[in-house]
Chain A
């Protein structure tokens, strides 16, 4: 399988706990994105990496959120001290910069977070 892989697919946690999601992008893709999607909404941009460098962060990304991509391959998104408002689907996507491609995003199936 050469698609974008995310885990866990579902996470239920109590308010105040920390959670971490992992994303494995398509292997040759140098860009990796995190989006958040709530019910009835389109994906909202959180952050993106080019290789291991985090190049852009949304103002939606509070101090409780941190993302890493230490070796330019997989990425983790950690949410500390979760709040009920953090309940959402967290989507990872990857893309390939350069060449004749259009830079389209390839999405994983998402990690659904429920904060009780």
Chain B
């Protein structure tokens, strides 16, 4: 079956870097996504990476993709209290039509 895995919790100090890791299952996924969910809100797309890329940088966000190990990570530089949220990794496997498969989410807590 399809299972996207993430560690459930991460706690960092304000100003430090955060690294959120994800393991996905389907090497056919064309795009891999990171979504952010704040309390009481829907999911918001943070960034995505195309499967033929190893790295993508977008301001404070860096996405690294290791296709061999099916490992995706999101690094947030200079983490701020406003970054406290749940972060979801998602893939869209070709064998699952247009279904996006989400991980369980990593709850990031930023301590002052």
Which residues of A pack against B, CB within 8 Å?
4, 31, 33, 35, 40-45, 48, 50, 55-56, 58, 91, 93, 102-110
User: CB-CB < 8 A to B48: which residues of A?
Assistant: 102, 104
B42 and A108 form a contact (CB under 8 A): yes
Report yes or no: B105 in contact with A42, Cβ–Cβ below 8 A.
Answer: yes
B:72-112 near A, CB below 8 Å: 88, 90, 92, 97-105
Q: Which of B31, B35, B100 has the most CB of A within 10 A?
A: B100
Please state if B97 and A56 are interface contacts (CB–CB under 8 Å). yes
B10 CB–A CB distance under 8 Å: no
Q: How far is the CA of A2 from the CA of B71 in the complex (A)?
A: 34
- B residues 29-46 with Cβ under 8 Å of A? 31, 33, 35, 40-45
B4 on the A face (CB < 8 A):
yes
0/1 string, B28-70, CB within 8 A of A gives 1: 0001010100001111110010100000000000000000000
Known: A45-B100, A109-B40, A109-B41. 13 other contacts (CB 8 A): A4-B42, A33-B100, A35-B102, A41-B105, A42-B4, A45-B99, A48-B98, A55-B98, A58-B99, A103-B92, A104-B48, A107-B35, A109-B42
Contact B104 A42 (CB under 8 A): yes
Q: How many residues of B contact A (CB 8 A)?
A: 25
Alpha-carbon distance A86/B34, docked complex (angstroms): 27
Q: How far apart are A39's CB and chain B's nearest CB, in angstroms? A: 11
A43, B97: Cβ atoms closer than 8 Å: no
Q: With the chains together, A45 CA to B92 CA distance in Å?
A: 11
Docked CA distance A107–B88 (Å): 13
* Distance A35 CA – B37 CA, assembled complex (angstroms): 14
B103 touches which of A4, A42, A58 (Cβ 8 Å):
A42
Instruction: Indicate whether A42 sits within 8 Å of B42 (C-beta atoms), given known contacts A103-B31, A104-B33.
Output: no
Nearest-CB distance from B74 to chain A (Å)?
15
- Would B42 and A55 count as touching, CB distance under 8 A? no
* B88 nearest in chain A by CB position: A42
Of all chain B residues, the one with the shortest Cβ separation from A31 is B98
